[in-house]
C-alpha cells in the first residue's frame, strides 16, 4: 500500500464519521506526505487555516483512524504545502451532496418544505460549514437537538444578516423532526407570529391561536427583533413562552442583536431570552470565506481555481449569502457561455452585480470618532484623562468591540497599550449609558452612519 492509497482509506473512514460539508472543507485537498521512523506521519494541508483546524479539532480523530489501518502510528504532524496538496489531489470522486439537487432558492421554488413545521430540507447540519466564527452557535444548536428542552432553554442565536442564523435554526428543526417524526415542531418568523395574532384577534379565534402555539414540542422563532414595540404580540409571546418553558418544551430564537440591545423590547421578555443560552455568529474571516466558497462551489458542481476563490473571498467580506450569490452568478454565466470564466471576467461580473462593500477598519472607526468630537486622533491614544477625550475614547473602544468584534486586549493595544480591563470598563460604561441616554444613542447612531459612509 503506498501513501496515496493509505490516505485514501483513511479519508474514506473520516468521510463516514464527519459531515459532508466539513469533509469537503477540511479534508478534500489534504495529502499524506511521508512516514518517518515507521511511526510518524506527515500530512500535507493546503493552508495555515486548515492546519490549525485539523490540529485542534480533528487530530485525535485522524490519529485514531490512521491507527485502525497502521497500528504502529504514534504521531501525526501537519505541514503546509499548497503545491504538494494540488499535486496529489484526491483521485476519489466526492459525490455531490444532495443539496445540489434541491437548490429550491435558485429555481424560486420551495416545493420541499414541510408545510406544517415549515422546515426546508435544504438547511441541515450536514450542509452547515463550521469555522471559528460560528463554531459555538453550531455546537449549542447541536446540543439542543440532543437535549430537547433540558439543556439550553431558550437557545438564543444572534448575528448580522446572511451569516447562517436561519440555516442553523432550521437545521435544529430538521434534525429533531427526522429523528422523531411525531414531534410537534414549528419554525416561523416573529413577523408571522405577529400577523397571525392580529388575524386571530380579528376573527376572534384567540383560543385556537393560543392552543396552536402552546402545544409544540419545539418552537423556533426567527428574527425575534421584529416583535419589539408590538405590545400585544410581546404579551402573547411571553405567555406562550412560559407555557412551553414550564412543560420543558424547547424554544429557539434568533435575532440580529443580543437581547440587551434590542430596542423597545419588553423587560420581561428580555429577561426570558437571557435566561437560557445566548450565542453569536460573527462574520467569517478570510480563510473561512475561502473554505465556504470551496465547499459551496463543489456542492454546485462548479470547479474554480484557487485564485478565483481567493478573489471572491476578498471582494465579498461580510456575508455568506452574498458569497453564495456570487457563486450562483458565476454558475449561471458559466452555463450560458459553456466555458470556464477567466479571473477578469469574474471581476467584471461581480463588479456589475454585487457592490463589494469594503470592510470597515479599526482605524476608520477611530478616525471617525475623533472627527465627530472634533479632537485630534492622537489624544485618544495618549494617557490624558481630560473629559473631552475620555468619552470619545470610550465610545471608540465600544464601537471597536461592538461593530468590529475586536478583542479586549486588541483594543487595549490599539489605544496606546492600555490594559484590557480598561477596555471592558469602557465598553460596559457606554453600554449602560446607552440604556437611558437618548442623546448618546443619537450620537452613536450618527457616528455609525459616518463610518458606513466612509467605508
Ligand atoms: P441569516 O438568517 O443569518 O440572515 P441565512 O441562514 O439565511 O442567514 O444564511 C444565508 C445563506 O448562507 C443561506 O443560503 C445559508 O444556507 C448559507 N449559509 C450560512 N451559513 C452557512 C454555513 N455555515 N454553511 C453553509 N451555508 C451557510
Ligand atoms: Mg434569517
* Per-residue 3-state assignment (H helix, E strand, C coil) for 227-275: HCCCHHHHHHHHHHHHHHHHCCCEEEEEECCCHHHCCCCCHHHHHHHCC
Ligand 1 atom 11 nearest Cα = 321
In degrees, to the nearest 5, what angle opens at C-alpha 172 toward C-alphas 244 and 215? 25
Among 106, 223, 320, say which to mutate for ligand 1: greatest number of ligand atoms within 8 Å of CB: 320
Cell numbers representing residue 411 in the block: 483594543
pLDDT on residue 88: 62
Q: Does domain 3-106 have CATH number 3.90.320.10?
A: no
- Ligand 1 centre from 350 Cα, in Å? 20
| Tens digits of residue pLDDT in 269-305 | 999 999 999 999 999 989 999 999 999 999 888 889 9
Helices 306-315 and 320-337 pack at an angle, to 10 degrees, of 130
- Ligand 1 centre from 355 Cα, in Å? 19
- Ligand 1 centre from 165 Cα, in Å? 7
CB 140 within 8 A of CB 277: yes
pLDDT on residue 359: 62
- Ligand 2 centre from 401 Cα, in Å? 23
pLDDT on residue 7: 83
Q: Which ligand is nearest to the CA of 162?
A: 1
Among 112, 128, 167, 287, say which to mutate for ligand 1: greatest number of ligand atoms within 8 Å of CB: 167
How long, in residues, is the chain?
Answer: 455
Question: Can you identify the CATH homologous superfamily of domain 362-454?
Answer: DnaA protein, C-terminal DNA-binding domain (1.10.1750.10)
- Ligand 2 centre from 183 Cα, in Å? 23
How far apart CA 169 and CA 164 sit, in angstroms, is 9
pLDDT on residue 12: 73
- The DSSP-derived string for 184-197 is -EEEEEHHHHHHHH
Neighbours of 440 (CB within 10 A): 15
Q: Which residue has the cell 515507521?
A: 38
Whether 3-106 and 362-454 share one fold: the answer is: no
CA distances from residue 173 to 110, 117, 148 in whole angstroms, order as listed: 17, 8, 11
In degrees, to the nearest 5, what angle opens at C-alpha 164 toward C-alphas 209 and 349? 125
How far apart CA 82 and CA 31 sit, in angstroms, is 10
Measured from CB, residues less than 6 Å from any atom of ligand 1 are 127-129, 134, 159, 161-167, 320-321, 324
How far apart CA 421 and CA 429 sit, in angstroms, is 12
Query: Residues with Cβ < 8 Å from 414, sequence gap 6 or more?
Result: 362, 366, 400, 406
pTM of the predicted model as reported, rounded to 2 decimal places: 0.61
Q: Which ligand is nearest to the CA of 256?
A: 1
How far apart CA 151 and CA 139 sit, in angstroms, is 12
Q: Which ligand is nearest to the CA of 127?
A: 1
Cell numbers representing residue 211 in the block: 392552543
Could you list which residues have their CB under 5 Å from ion ligand 2? 165-166
Cα Rg for the chain, rounded, in angstroms? 25
Among 122, 162, 254, say which to mutate for ligand 1: greatest number of ligand atoms within 8 Å of CB: 162
How far apart CA 235 and CA 268 sit, in angstroms, is 9
How far apart CA 125 and CA 21 sit, in angstroms, is 9
Class of domain 135-281: alpha beta
Ligand 1 atom 6 nearest Cα = 164
Q: Which ligand is nearest to the CA of 161?
A: 1
- Ligand 2 centre from 145 Cα, in Å? 19
How far apart CA 273 and CA 258 sit, in angstroms, is 9
pLDDT on residue 133: 93
Question: Could you write out the three-class secondary structure of 60-117?
Answer: HHHHHHHHHHCCCCCEEEEEECHHHHHHCCCCCCCCCCCHHHHCHHHHCCCCCCECCC
pLDDT on residue 355: 59
Q: Is 93 exposed, middle or buried (0-12, 13-18, 19+ CB in 10 A)?
A: exposed
How far apart CA 130 and CA 317 sit, in angstroms, is 17
Walk along the chain (455 residues) and give the pLDDT tens digit of each residue: 567 777 877 887 777 666 666 777 788 788 887 788 778 899 999 888 889 889 988 898 899 888 877 777 889 999 988 887 776 654 433 333 333 333 333 333 344 567 788 898 889 999 999 999 999 999 999 999 999 999 999 999 999 989 999 999 999 999 999 999 999 999 999 988 998 999 999 999 999 999 999 999 999 999 999 999 899 999 999 999 999 999 999 999 999 989 988 888 999 999 999 999 999 999 998 999 999 999 999 988 888 999 999 999 998 887 898 898 889 888 888 877 788 889 999 998 888 776 545 567 888 899 999 988 989 999 999 888 898 999 999 999 999 988 877 888 889 999 989 999 999 999 999 999 998 898 898 889 889 878 877 76
CA distances from residue 18 to 61, 91, 92, 121, 136 in whole angstroms, order as listed: 10, 19, 17, 19, 17
Domain extents in the chain: 3-106, 135-281, 303-353, 362-454
pLDDT on residue 8: 78
- Ligand 1 centre from 167 Cα, in Å? 5
φ, ψ dihedrals at 180, nearest 5°: -145, 80
Among candidate residues 87, 126, 120, 133, the one with its CA nearest the CA of residue 295: 126
- To which H or E segment does residue 296 belong? helix 286-300
Amino acid at each position: 500500500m503506498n501513501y496515496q492509497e493509505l490516505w485514501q482509506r483513511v479519508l474514506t473512514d473520516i468521510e463516514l464519521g464527519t459531515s459532508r460539508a466539513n469533509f469537503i472543507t477540511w479534508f478534500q485537498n489534504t495529502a499524506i506526505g511521508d512516514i518517518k521512523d515507521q511511526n510518524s506521519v506527515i500530512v500535507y494541508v493546503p493552508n495555515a487555516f486548515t492546519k490549525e483546524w485539523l490540529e485542534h479539532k480533528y487530530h485525535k480523530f485522524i490519529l485514531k483512524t490512521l491507527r485502525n489501518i497502521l497500528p504502529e502510528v504514534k504521531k501525526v504532524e501537519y505541514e503546509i504545502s499548497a503545491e504538494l496538496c494540488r499535486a496529489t489531489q484526491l483521485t476519489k470522486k466526492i459525490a455531490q451532496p444532495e443539496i445540489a439537487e434541491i437548490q429550491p432558492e435558485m429555481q424560486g421554488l420551495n416545493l420541499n418544505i414541510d408545510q406544517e413545521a415549515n422546515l426546508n430540507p435544504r438547511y441541515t447540519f450536514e450542509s452547515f460549514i463550521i469555522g471559528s466564527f460560528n463554531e459555538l452557535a453550531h455546537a449549542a444548536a447541536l446540543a439542543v437537538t440532543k437535549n430537547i428542552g433540558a439543556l439550553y432553554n431558550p437557545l438564543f442565536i444572534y448575528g448580522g444578516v446572511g451569516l447562517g442564523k436561519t440555516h442553523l435554526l432550521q437545521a435544529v428543526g430538521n434534525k429533531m423532526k427526522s429523528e422523531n417524526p411525531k414531534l410537534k415542531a414549528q419554525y416561523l418568523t416573529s413577523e408571522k407570529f405577529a400577523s397571525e395574532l392580529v388575524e386571530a384577534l380579528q376573527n376572534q379565534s384567540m383560543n385556537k391561536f393560543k392552543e396552536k402555539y402552546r402545544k409544540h414540542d419545539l418552537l423556533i422563532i426567527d428574527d425575534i427583533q421584529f416583535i419589539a414595540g408590538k405590545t400585544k404580540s410581546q404579551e402573547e409571546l411571553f405567555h406562550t413562552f412560559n407555557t412551553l418553558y414550564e412543560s420543558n418544551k424547547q424554544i429557539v430564537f434568533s435575532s440580529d442583536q443580543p437581547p440587551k440591545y434590542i430596542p423597545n423590547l419588553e423587560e420581561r421578555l428580555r429577561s426570558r431570552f437571557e435566561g437560557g443560552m445566548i450565542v453569536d455568529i460573527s462574520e467569517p474571516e478570510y480563510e473561512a470565506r475561502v473554505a465556504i466558497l470551496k465547499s459551496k462551489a463543489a456542492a454546485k458542481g462548479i470547479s474554480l481555481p484557487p485564485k478565483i476563490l481567493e478573489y471572491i473571498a476578498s471582494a465579498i467580506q461580510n456575508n455568506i449569502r452574498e458569497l453564495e450569490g456570487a457563486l450562483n452568478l458565476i454558475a449561471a454565466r458559466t452555463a450560458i457561455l459553456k466555458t470556464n470564466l477567466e479571473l477578469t471576467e469574474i471581476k467584471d461580473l461581480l463588479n456589475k452585480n454585487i457592490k463589494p462593500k469594503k470592510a470597515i477598519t479599526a482605524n476608520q472607526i477611530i478616525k471617525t470618532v475623533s472627527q465627530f468630537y472634533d479632537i485630534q486622533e492622537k489624544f485618544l491614544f495618549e494617557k490624558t484623562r481630560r473629559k473631552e477625550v475620555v468619552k470619545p475614547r470610550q465610545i471608540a473602544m465600544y464601537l471597536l468591540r461592538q461593530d468590529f468584534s475586536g478583542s479586549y486586549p486588541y483594543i487595549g493595544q490599539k489605544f496606546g497599550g492600555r490594559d484590557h480591563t480598561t477596555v471592558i470598563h469602557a465598553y460596559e460604561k457606554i453600554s449602560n449609558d446607552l440604556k437611558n441616554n437618548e442623546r448618546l444613542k443619537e450620537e452613536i447612531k450618527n457616528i455609525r452612519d459616518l463610518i458606513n459612509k466612509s467605508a
